[in-house]
Amino acid sequence: MKAPSVLARSSRWFLSGALIAGVMLGVAAAPSQAASPAAGPPIKIGFSVSLSGDFSSDGQAILQGYRLWAADVNSHGGLLGRKVRLIYYDDASSTTQVQTDYTKLITSDKVDLTFGPFSTLLTIPATAVARRYGYAFLAPAGGGPLVFQQNFHNFFFVQPSPVARNLVSFTHWLLTLPKSRRPTTAAYVTIDDPFAKPEVDTARGILSRHGVRSVYYTVVPSEVTDFQPMALSAAHTHAQLVVIGSPGPDLSIALINGFKQQHYNPKAIIATSGPDQGKTFSKAVGLRNTEGIMVPEGWWYGAKTYQNTRFISEYLRTYHGTVADISQDTPEAYSVGQVAQQAVTKIGSLDNGKLIAELHRGTFQSVQGPMRFDSAGRPQGESFIVQWRNGNTVPVYPAQYAVKSVEYPKPHWH
């Protein structure tokens, strides 16, 4: 996640204006696809999504998830017997535009429910708007510590664990290794980002306390695009473990390519994001060089979770490609719909006050597994570690999710 430059920000204002008009006229205003017996007007669900700007890649994947869920609901009788209609605007990855979008959705479009955008950066101002109007806010992304520090009572982060704990499973696995095999040194490179940095800092704290010496730690400003010096510096330390804090795929890809160029082969590499981007990642680093690289995940295509098979078949039918092409953002967004659907069905109403109470109380099923939230909307589960193996990603830790054991040390670059 890069902070937009001044020029970029201003340009996105222009662009977002044009896109808002386009989106409203062309896509969002159109009712969602499937026709079903409807008792009453459609239920309007509003959200803001980054279709342009720095988060546009994730934004489009989130939109796919919401659309798939809406199509699924409508083809199975709707919600409370009514059709679901999605209304959305492009926020151009801007923290100010996202507030405008939600204000408009709530006050002008008078949506019944609100779903979240991408990233912690956008989720905080968006949730504040939703809270002002008493709306429950279910977010597919944006679970950085900053969000929970706001103590939003209406916020629910629909992923298995809070973002800051995403790498905890990885540290647990590492510490299961006998001391003689465990890496003794680690390099940490992270973007200065409310999503990625807390994950890396948590992992660094745990590993340092258990004797894995931190030999390189650098925080990269979000506007930096040339990551070659960081790759050079990390390689120079010969650290046995590399932890990359990347909110999007760019830092992970650049560092891994830099390591290849420097013939630097750490025993293990894990990134907060990037290796979870399917073909985007494997094409950028080379399929053979993905082998052994790890990433924390909340969803896996092979998991026996609620409606996961249905989700995958709907995805492939609608968007084609292979399961490896499915971005993590898409099932996360789909899960938001699933949780909202179950909670609304349970209370039998669209009253947001009752919905908030139910979301705090209940346990809900999703393609990411069961979801439960504490008073600040923190999920109560844990993420698992996925590793690239023979051109695909498979869960490797903890045991209840693992399909294979961890490949360690990672093979050398090709």
Partner 1 sequence: MDLIYGAIVTGILTGGVYALMASGLTLVFGVMDIINVGQGALVILGAYLAYALEQHLHLDPFLSLLLTIPALFLVGVVIEVAIIRRLKRDRTMLSILVTFAVALIIEGLLTLFFTTNLVKIDAWYVDNSFPVGSVYVAYIYLFGFILSVVLLAALWAFLYRTKFGQGIRATVQNRTAAELIGINVARVETITFGIGVSLAAAGGMVYGAINTFNPVSAYDLISRLLVIIILGGMGSLFGALVAALFMLIVEDVTSVVWSPVWATLVFYVVLAAVLLVRAQGVFGKVATRRQ
Q: Site residues (CB under 8 A) for partner 1?
A: 2, 4-8, 11, 14-15, 18, 52-54, 56-57, 60, 192, 218-221, 223-226, 228-230, 232-233, 236, 248-250, 253-254, 257, 260-263, 280, 283-284, 286
CB of 229 to partner 1, least distance (A): 4
311 contact partners, CB below 8 Å, separation of at least 6: 68, 72, 331, 334, 367
Backbone phi, psi, residue 353, to 5°: -65, -45
How many CB atoms are closer than 10 A to CB 22? 13
CB of 276 to partner 1, least distance (A): 13
CB of 25 to partner 1, least distance (A): 15
Residue 100, strand partner residues? none
Query: How far apart (Å, rounded) are the C-alpha atoms in residues 395 and 385?
Result: 6
CB of 294 to partner 1, least distance (A): 20
Q: Which of 16, 387 has the CB closer to partner 1?
A: 16
Q: Which residue's entry shows tokens 């017997």?
A: 81
How many CB atoms are closer than 10 A to CB 186? 25
Q: Which of 31, 286 has the CB closer to partner 1?
A: 286
CB of 273 to partner 1, least distance (A): 12
Torsion angle, alpha carbons of 384, 385, 388, 392, to 10 = -10
CB of 63 to partner 1, least distance (A): 12
Among residues 312, 317, 316, which one has the least CA distance to residue 301? Answer: 312
Residue 355, strand partner residues? none
Alpha-carbon 73 to chain mean position? 22
CB of 50 to partner 1, least distance (A): 9
Secondary structure of residue 288 in the 3-state scheme: helix
List, in sequence order, the alpha helices (H) in 112-167: 120-132, 145-149
Q: Which of 150, 280 has the CB closer to partner 1?
A: 280
Q: Which of 323, 376 has the CB closer to partner 1?
A: 323
Label the pairing between strands 213-220 and 268-271.
Answer: unpaired
What end-to-end distance do the CA atoms of the chain give, in Å?
29
Q: Which of 254, 340 has the CB closer to partner 1?
A: 254
Q: Which of 91, 358 has the CB closer to partner 1?
A: 91
CB 68 within 8 A of CB 311: yes
Backbone phi, psi, residue 52, to 5°: -140, 170
E runs forming strands in 209-291: 213-220, 241-245, 268-271
CB of 301 to partner 1, least distance (A): 19
Q: Which of 11, 184 has the CB closer to partner 1?
A: 11
Query: How far apart (Å, rounded) are the C-alpha atoms in residues 405 and 272?
Result: 20
Q: Which of 14, 35 has the CB closer to partner 1?
A: 14
Q: Which of 8, 367 has the CB closer to partner 1?
A: 8
CB 356 within 8 A of CB 349: no
CB of 375 to partner 1, least distance (A): 36
